[in-house]
Amino acid sequence: MRSISILGATGSIGSSTLDLIRRERDQWRVVALTANGNVTELAKLAREFGAEVAVCADASRLEALRAALAGSSIAAAAGEGALVEAASRPADMTVAAIVGCAGLAPTMAAIAHGRTVALANKEALVSAGEVMTALVTKHGTTLLPMDSEHNAIFQCLAGNSHKDVRWITLTASGGPFRDWSLEQLGGATAAQAVKHPNWDMGAKISVDSATMFNKGLEFIEAYHLFPVGLERLRIIVHPQSIVHSMVEYRDGSTLAQLGPSDMRVPIASCLAHPARMDTPLSDQLDLAAIGELTFRAPDEVRFPATRLAREAARSGGGIPAVLNAANEVAVAAFLAGQIGFTRIAAAVEEVLCRYAPQAPAALDEVLAVDGEARAVAHALLAGG
208 binds Mg ion (CB under 5 A): no
CB-side neighbour CA atoms (13 Å) of 317? 9
Helices (H), the chain: 12-22, 39-49, 62-68, 80-88, 104-112, 122-128, 130-139, 148-157, 182-186, 190-193, 203-211, 213-225, 264-272, 287-290, 305-315, 319-335, 341-354, 363-381
Choose one: 47-55, 67-75, 147-155, 357-365; the region binding Mg ion (CB under 5 A).
Answer: 147-155
Kindly state the number of chain residues that form the binding site for Mg ion, as judged by CB under 5 A: 3
Burial-class residue 266 by CB neighbours within 10 Å (0-12, 13-18, 19+): buried
Q: Which is nearer to ligand NAD, 38 or 192 (CB)?
A: 38
Q: Compute how many other C-beta atoms are within 10 angstroms of the C-beta atom of residue 358.
A: 9
CB 79 to ligand NAD: min, Å: 10
Choose one: 108-116, 144-152, 162-170, 323-331; the region binding Mg ion (CB under 5 A).
Answer: 144-152
Closest to 6 (Cα-Cα) out of 33, 31, 24: 33
β-strand pairing of 2-7 with 28-35: parallel
Burial 325-338 (b: 16+ CB within 10 A, else e): bbbbbbbbbbbeee
Q: Which is nearer to ligand NAD, 199 or 249 (CB)?
A: 199
Q: Which is nearer to Mg ion, 172 or 381 (CB)?
A: 172
Q: Which one of ligand NAD, Mg ion, none interacts with residue 370, CB within 5 to 8 A by kind?
A: none
In contact, 128 and 321? CB cutoff 8 Å: yes
In contact, 168 and 153? CB cutoff 8 Å: yes
Q: Which one of ligand NAD, Mg ion, none interacts with residue 304, CB within 5 to 8 A by kind?
A: none
Closest to 245 (Cα-Cα) out of 215, 269, 217: 215
Q: Which one of ligand NAD, Mg ion, none interacts with residue 156, CB within 5 to 8 A by kind?
A: none
CB-side neighbour CA atoms (13 Å) of 121? 31
Q: Which is nearer to ligand NAD, 100 or 248 (CB)?
A: 100
Write the DSSP symbol of residue 27.
G
Rounded Cα gap, residues 101 and 371, in angstroms? 10
CB 253 to ligand NAD: min, Å: 27
Q: Which is nearer to ligand NAD, 52 or 123 (CB)?
A: 123
CA distances from 55 to 46, 101, 112, 256, 377 (A): 10, 18, 19, 38, 29
Q: Which one of ligand NAD, Mg ion, none interacts with residue 262, CB within 5 to 8 A by kind?
A: none
Per-residue contact string for residues 68-107; x = within reach of Mg ion by CB under 5 A = ----------------------------------------
Q: Which one of ligand NAD, Mg ion, none interacts with residue 270, CB within 5 to 8 A by kind?
A: none
Q: Which one of Mg ion, ligand NAD, none interacts with residue 133, CB within 5 to 8 A by kind?
A: none
CA-based end-to-end distance of the chain: 55
CB 296 to ligand NAD: min, Å: 22
Q: Which of 147, 208, 262, 370 binds Mg ion (CB under 5 A)?
A: 147
Residues 148-187 that bind Mg ion (CB under 5 A): 148-149
Q: Which one of ligand NAD, Mg ion, none interacts with residue 57, CB within 5 to 8 A by kind?
A: ligand NAD
Q: Which is nearer to ligand NAD, 133 or 261 (CB)?
A: 261
CB 285 to Mg ion: min, Å: 18
Choose one: 31-39, 41-49, 141-149, 228-236; the region binding Mg ion (CB under 5 A).
Answer: 141-149
Choose one: 30-38, 143-151, 295-303, 351-359; the region binding Mg ion (CB under 5 A).
Answer: 143-151
Q: Which is nearer to ligand NAD, 52 or 147 (CB)?
A: 147
Q: Compute how many other C-beta atoms are within 10 angstroms of the C-beta atom of residue 198.
A: 17
DSSP code per residue over 142-205 = EEEE-SHHHHHHHHHHTTS-GGGEEEEEEEE---TTTT--HHHHHT--HHHHT--SS----HHH
Q: Which is nearer to ligand NAD, 169 or 248 (CB)?
A: 169
Q: Which one of Mg ion, ligand NAD, none interacts with residue 212, CB within 5 to 8 A by kind?
A: none
**Site residues (CB under 6 A) for ligand NAD?**
8-14, 35-36, 38, 57, 97-99, 102, 120-123, 147, 199, 201-202, 204-205, 263
Interface with Mg ion by CB under 5 A: which residues?
147-149
